[in-house]
Amino acid sequence: MIEVFADIWCPFAYVGMVHLRAARDELAPSLPILVRAWPLEVVNGTPLDPRTVADEVADLRAQVAPELFTGLDPGHFPTTTIPALGLVAAARGQDPTGGETVGMTLRRWLFEEGRDISDPDVLAEAADAAAVEMPSAAWARAAVEAEHALGRARGVKGSPHFFVGDAESFCPTLRIARAGAHLQITLDHDRMRSWLSGCLGTDRPAAGGAPSAPA
């Protein structure tokens, strides 16, 4: 099993999840990805700023991921991800693969379709599509806070942080540095695959090429 601690509105986690799923699908298609919450608004003490995320997305698209983030709308950026992360936890509790599916759906809606995933109607649509009952606000917050505590106990450094058993890697696909007003970002296509292959004890030739945008 692969575990991922991440937040839905983190653009770096979106890139990481796309590459993780591509590597998993190549190396071990039946291996579940268990998605856990790393709530950045709790970690940072404030929600993410849509203008900052838009700037990060612009740098990601310009430098490493032109096929992603085609529809981010800062005007419809979520005000919180606690309910969305709670829905992911509820879906995962129903089916180990459910959290991965719902989490990627919400990421695609946010970054590719410009939808506000803090909108109750949007979350209800995601819950209906996954045949999951939308959890209460209290349940969602408790679940997210519990996963944040678990992540702290396991030494999570940020979003995304990946685990396979005792092996762990923080944001293995991207190398990020500040360069003035912009980020300097390097994408390593093979690093995620090599890390996962080492964890799983597999050794297949790389398929080559970057993962495509999620459908």
pLDDT of residue 202: 77
Domains in the chain: boundaries: 2-200
Amino acid at 213: A
pLDDT in tens, the chain (215 residues): 999 999 999 999 999 999 999 999 999 999 999 999 999 999 999 999 999 999 999 999 999 999 999 999 999 999 999 999 999 999 999 998 899 999 999 999 999 999 999 999 999 999 999 999 999 999 999 999 999 999 999 999 999 999 999 999 999 999 999 988 899 999 997 899 999 999 998 765 555 556 666 65
CA 173 to chain centre: 13
pLDDT of residue 165: 92
pLDDT of residue 208: 53
Q: Distance between CA 177 and CA 180 in Å, rounded?
A: 10
Q: Distance between CA 140 and CA 179 in Å, rounded?
A: 37
CA 137 to chain centre: 21
Q: Distance between CA 140 and CA 134 in Å, rounded?
A: 9
Show the tokens assigned to 59. 């740098």
pLDDT of residue 141: 98
User: Collapsing DSSP states into helix, strand and coil, what is residue 146?
Assistant: helix
2-200: CATH number: 3.40.30.10
pLDDT of residue 75: 96
